[in-house]
Structure 1
């Protein structure tokens, strides 16, 4: 009997990484739809503009003009994230002696920021719906896009073993940076959420290219998936679901439960907007971690 035939039957072949591009493309379309729904829901409707503007005005009450030093430091997070991303991408490139993953990650990062600037400054407008607010469009947030896309670049060049942890920690960083623009009155909550969706769309497209062109880079180690990876993904899921639930409940109470009294010393719209930022940020981090982990190959 041929020994080679026996071994080929008993030894499972390594599953090709990124073998189902339809999943990535479908997820990218969903993320793009999320950005579109955020725009139409919070910018094109009176109800959405009122909720977004109320949250922004209440942020001024929660974090008044006399800035807290910690909040001022958070302003630097988007710029700091760029240096973090460049340092990590360079280190990984040198360590693994391959340049194509770095190019894909940096092009993905640049594409997300270019898309945000085109959407905000050329393609989207803010119609007058009778809500007293700034008359120019600020969605998506450029600062949030810069921070989130930098973390996405780090995520893309990371091996599957560490991607769940990087997704959780990078998602936390992006949420902090987005929340800082909200706290410090740079952007409304919807601006931050839309930026998350734009970055997610570009990351999914870049991730598909990464997994298809570098299959050996995107394989789990011989030990396979670890409990640690499931922990990080689970933590993002829990945080995202809880925050989205808090956002919905707080908004419902502010809108219908207590009427005008909700604005009397209780910034419910502010907390609803903050919870929405946290929820969407962690939910996207969890979904990205799940998809990339499932699509990475096994040795």
Structure 2
């Protein structure tokens, strides 16, 4: 009696095999967003730090505002053009119709959320800090830039996602820093925009990865130069340095005693705190996305 031998087990796994983690990650971004709003808008200490960073930006980096203003004026067009070009390519050349729709929905959802939060749901109470009396959190320009980068991250294959995370994180941080340095937004506004995009990216990524697309597989880090673990390491390093520096600067200002009026300190430590916070949060979220999506992608047998 002949027996049939089963082929050896193949190293495969379902993409997004733990979908609840995507949902929990999205909720974590929303919780962090709520904390950012409460800490920097609803409290006196946070308002003072955020406002001081914004006012010191005009003193600490006056020579950069011209080039950054030109960049900000072009930012919507640049972001939309880059995202549209990549999404159009993967839609027409790679036939990833559903993924393209989800990526576009991620952009729309993130930007709609920012506008609703900023203009209808969140306010800026008077806490005795000399500041503008209207809410500017989250930053619309930063949301647009970061969501465009996130859409590209979602539609590319896993082998390209480490590079897309690093480049997209850099582009988002530059866009957010530009709105801060050019006095369009406070640091907390930029951080809040990153968190809005992070929440929507996880939800969009869950849908894309659960579609069972044959292109959404890889063999792991190192299969291609764009899949090098170096990109992940760079994101983690920039994120950790930025967050660590922001904490150190904030603590040093509090220990030394901040200036009585925002923007009047002899050394603009609040400005550097705000810039480091933007860099730290932006690259940390990019690193988390790269690591998480890489871990949840389906391995090629």
- The TM-score, its normalising length taken from structure 1, stands at 0.93
1:205 corresponds in structure 2 to 203
Between the aligned partners of 1:135 and 1:259, the Cα distance in structure 2 is: 22
| Matched residue, 1:70 | 67
- 1:18 corresponds to: 16
Rounded to whole Å, the distance in 2 between the matches of 1:244 and 1:165 is 22
Distance 1:53 1:68 in 2: 18
Change (3 A) 1:104 1:4: farther
> Cα 1:190–1:60, aligned 2, differ >3 Å: closer, same or farther?
same
Which digits, 9 at most, give the CA deviation of each residue in 1:73-113, with x for residues without a partner?
Answer: 32123431111000000011122123111000000110000
Match of 1:89 in 2: 87
Unaligned segments of structure 2, at least 5 residues: none
Matched, 1:187 2:185: yes
Q: Distance in 2 between matches of 1:62 and 1:31?
A: 31
- Matches of 1:98 and 1:169, distance apart in 2: 22
5+ long unaligned stretches in structure 1: none
Q: In the alignment, which of 132, 136, 144 is matched to residue 130 of structure 2?
A: 132
The SS at the match of 2:157 is coil
In structure 2, distance between residues paired with 1:92 and 1:2: 46
Q: Is the 8 A contact 2:51 2:186 kept in 1?
A: yes
Determine the C-alpha separation between the residues in 2 that align with 1:34 and 1:134. 24
After TM superposition, list the pairs within 5 Å mapping 1:176-255 onto structure 2: 176-221=174-219, 224-226=220-222, 228-255=227-254
The 2-side partners of 1:130 and 1:19 are apart by 50
SS state at 1:197 partner: helix
**How far is 1:259 from its partner?**
4.5
CA offset at residue 215 of structure 1?
3.6
**What is the total number of aligned residue pairs between the two structures?**
293
Runs of 4+ in 1 over 6 A off after TM superposition: none
Contact in 2 for aligned 1:247/1:276 (Cα 8 Å): yes
> How far 1:264 moved relative to its partner?
3.9
Could you say what secondary structure the match of 2:103 adopts?
helix
Does the 8 Å CA contact 2:65/2:182 hold for their aligned counterparts? Answer: no
2:38 to 37, 40, 64: 40
- TM norm structure 2: 0.93
Please, what is the CA RMSD of the aligned residues? 1.8
